[in-house]
Amino acid sequence: MGAPRWRRRCLLLLPALAFSAVLYGRCRPAGGGSLLQQEPLLLVPPELSREAGSHDLTRESIIKRGQQSKYSPELEKPRPTWEQPSSCLQSLTSKVKADSKFGKLFDFRIPVLMWDRHLTSETWNKLKGRGVPYGWQGLSYTAIASTLRLLNDSANRWLIDRASFPGDCIRCAVVGNGGILNGSRQGKEIDAHDFVFRLNGAVTKGFEEDVGTKTSFYGFTVNTMKNSLIAYREYGFTQVPQSKELRYIFIPSDMRDYTMLRAAILGSPVQDGSDKGDEPSKYFGPEASAKKFKLLHPDFMHYLTARFLRSDIINTQYGYLYMPSTGALMLLTALHTCDQVSAYGFITDNYENFSDHYYELEKKPLVFYANHDMLLEAELWKSLHRVGIMKLYQR
């Protein structure tokens, strides 16, 4: 990154358990390609991906194939939201409004969370035309509705209830799992924030000095949560964070996220799907209620991808594989919710100096898969830090 031209190779990660991959080359044009460019978001439904096994994956060929798709939903005008206004005089919103580029990208009117008030025929008709995670294409109305109707508490409207917050400015730390945090001694600074977001394999035991102990929000998809419990068990991630104050942020990347959320609120086993029979209480505790759960709005995820993290892969027949990483979604959620945001453990220019995760005993390189675009995310974090909208921990 930073050079006029750079090339990376990345594995095309299939969302199924097999993780079978197709290796492809990708070039950025001179100048890097502006991440602020305004274009419609092209999303290709899975049923158009029958050639996923093809080895003819030059950049030109996949872009040409992707241009044949007519699936091109654009951002719509936002509806009024139930978010509470901030009284913080040093809120990041002032920095956003003052910046000529980001001032055009951020739209704080778009609802961050989805809850029962969004269950309307108009919303259904709109979202059933988009594939997950940006909509409900191919999903059962009954299953979606039975979940959303349970998100009927005021706590499901927003992440943070400003009415009950004593201070004026809400300070949030979003903690990724990058190796840059190993030996960072940032634990006290992280815990000093009003709210701390963590995600996926969020190991804290044994690393308190570097990453702190406080967890206010834990963000995940059911897939990333379960995979983390398997992949990072040897590093100490044997249990999803639990506490009375902690809240869980579901990222609806698949039907299983809706079914798991419904079962968690009801306190019953999952009734159907690939997680049938699973007990949500082992992840979220035995006394979890609707108040503990938040669900990202598909419109919000669509907006984030279209405005901030629109990777080239979106415009190809493999676009259904792509979505922003869990860390990116949590950080952008905080940037649309909190007054001041600091990011720790996220990818930086010198990522090659550090291990993939901070809790690995031996250094492991960061691997790039085509279901995320980590280098595009790195460009975004660097830009947001440079203009003062957020603070990015670097070393």
Is the per-residue pLDDT at 69 higher than 80?
Answer: no
Is the per-residue pLDDT at 257 higher than 60?
Answer: yes
Q: Is 61 helix (H, G, I), strand (E, B) or coil?
A: helix
The answer to whether residue 65 sits within a structural domain is no
What pLDDT is stored for residue 41 in this prediction?
53
Is the per-residue pLDDT at 7 higher than 90?
Answer: no
Token pair, residue 124, equals: 């259904």
Bridge-based pairing of strands 171-175 and 23-27 is: unpaired
What pLDDT is stored for residue 367 in this prediction?
84
Is the per-residue pLDDT at 39 higher than 70?
Answer: no
The answer to whether residue 371 sits within a structural domain is yes
In the chain, how many domains are there?
Answer: 1
Q: Are 151 and 292 in contact (CB under 8 A)?
A: no
The answer to whether residue 378 sits within a structural domain is yes
What pLDDT is stored for residue 305 in this prediction?
95
The answer to whether residue 355 sits within a structural domain is yes
Please tell me the pTM assigned to this model.
0.81
What pLDDT is stored for residue 350 in this prediction?
95
What pLDDT is stored for residue 30 in this prediction?
31
What pLDDT is stored for residue 22 in this prediction?
30
The answer to whether residue 144 sits within a structural domain is yes
The answer to whether residue 16 sits within a structural domain is no
The answer to whether residue 29 sits within a structural domain is no
Q: How far is 326 from 6, CA to CA, in rounded Å?
A: 25
The answer to whether residue 36 sits within a structural domain is no
Cis link prior to 133 (omega < 30° from 0)? Answer: yes
What pLDDT is stored for residue 88 in this prediction?
87
Between 43 and 239, the more confident residue is 239
Q: State pLDDT tens for residues 351-395.
A: 999 999 999 989 999 988 878 999 999 999 999 999 999 999 999
What pLDDT is stored for residue 163 in this prediction?
78
Residue whose C-alpha is closest to residue 300's, from 111, 79, 78: 111
Bridge-based pairing of strands 293-295 and 217-220 is: unpaired
Domain at 101, CATH number:
3.90.1480.20
Mean pLDDT of 156-176: 88
Q: State pLDDT tens for residues 259-314.
A: 999 999 999 999 999 999 999 999 999 878 899 999 999 999 999 999 999 998 78
Q: What share of the chain is helix, strand, coil (3-state, %, to 5)?
A: 35, 10, 55
**Domain assignment of residue 113, given as a range:** 92-392
